[in-house]
């Protein structure tokens, strides 16, 4: 199948991947746009895995102020070099992550950051719910596993669906940037402030 420039442009607009990567993805998936998106995601994931051992000591602290100054966010996003840290793509991604934090209000960065006692409490609640609904004992662990995964998607930044594109998570957004830049990229930490909270 002939891969046209308009097909490449459509895929590029959808994924922000490089032109040659888009062309390769479309060729590998027979021109099917959805399969090409999946192909690029997998490629991004493998690139992210390869880069994850590299030290990410450069980067940017991005901020976002929302609702006339009622919500403010700061997020540190690291990469390997000053060159990548200064690119528009990297800075836009960091700003998008800050905006996402303002909107989605994550509690933790990643599942490893969730305290054991919080997970223990969630497990107990899910077990009681499953027993109350009369679920068989042998499938309760699987039910709990699924609910814990959903819990992580709600409270952990990297597991949340990106508010500007609900088809991807924040981790996928980062992985796509790793694939594009060839550098390890890490969301290091964030802080979200809401006017008057905890008063």
What is the predicted pLDDT for the residue at 43?
72
Do 95 and 76 share a structural domain?
A: yes
CA 154, CA 149: separation in Å to the nearest integer? Answer: 9
Do 10 and 36 share a structural domain?
A: yes
Tell me if 162 is assigned to some domain: yes
Higher-confidence residue of 6 and 118: namely 118
Helix or strand or coil: residue 122?
helix
Domain ranges, residue 46: 5-51
pLDDT in tens, 142-187: 999 999 999 999 999 999 999 999 999 999 999 999 988 888 999 9
Do 39 and 125 share a structural domain?
A: no
Tell me if 199 is assigned to some domain: no
How is residue 74 written in tokens?
């700061």
Nearest to 36 by CA among 48, 46, 28: 28
In total, how many domains does the chain have? 3
Do 190 and 93 share a structural domain?
A: yes
Do 126 and 35 share a structural domain?
A: no
Nearest to 59 by CA among 186, 175, 172, 169: 186
Evaluate if residue 40 carries a pLDDT over 80. Answer: no
Do 105 and 119 share a structural domain?
A: no
Do 104 and 63 share a structural domain?
A: yes
Do 180 and 123 share a structural domain?
A: no
pLDDT in tens, 55-112: 778 999 999 998 788 999 999 999 999 999 999 999 999 999 999 999 999 999 999 9
pLDDT in tens, 104-138: 999 999 999 999 999 999 999 998 998 888 888 88
What is the predicted pLDDT for the residue at 157?
98
Would you say the pTM of this structure is higher than 0.75? no
Do 165 and 72 share a structural domain?
A: yes
Tell me if 76 is assigned to some domain: yes
Do 77 and 163 share a structural domain?
A: yes
What is the predicted pLDDT for the residue at 48?
54
What is the predicted pLDDT for the residue at 91?
97
Q: The domain that contains 62 carries what CATH number?
A: 3.30.479.20
């Amino acid at each position: 199948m002939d891969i046209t420039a308009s097909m490449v442009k459509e895929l590029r607009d959808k994924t922000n991947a490089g032109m040659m990567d888009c062309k390769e993805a479309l060729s590998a998936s027979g021109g099917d746009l959805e399969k090409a998106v999946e192909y690029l995601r997998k490629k991004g994931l493998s690139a992210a895995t390869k880069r994850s051992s590299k030290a990410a000591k450069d980067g940017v602290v991005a901020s976002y102020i929302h609702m006339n100054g009622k919500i403010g966010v700061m997020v540190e996003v690291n990469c390997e070099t000053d060159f990548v840290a200064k690119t528009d793509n990297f800075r836009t991604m960091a700003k998008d992550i800050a905006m996402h934090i303002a909107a989605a209000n994550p509690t933790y960065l990643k599942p490893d950051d969730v305290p054991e006692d919080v997970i223990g409490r969630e497990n107990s609640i899910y077990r009681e719910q499953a027993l109350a609904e009369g679920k068989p004992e042998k499938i309760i662990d699987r039910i709990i596993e699924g609910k814990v995964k959903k819990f992580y998607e709600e409270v952990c930044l990297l597991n949340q669906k990106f508010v500007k594109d609900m088809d991807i998570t924040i981790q996928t957004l980062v992985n796509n940037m790793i694939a594009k830049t060839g550098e390890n990229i890490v969301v290091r930490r964030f802080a979200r402030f809401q006017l008057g909270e905890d008063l």
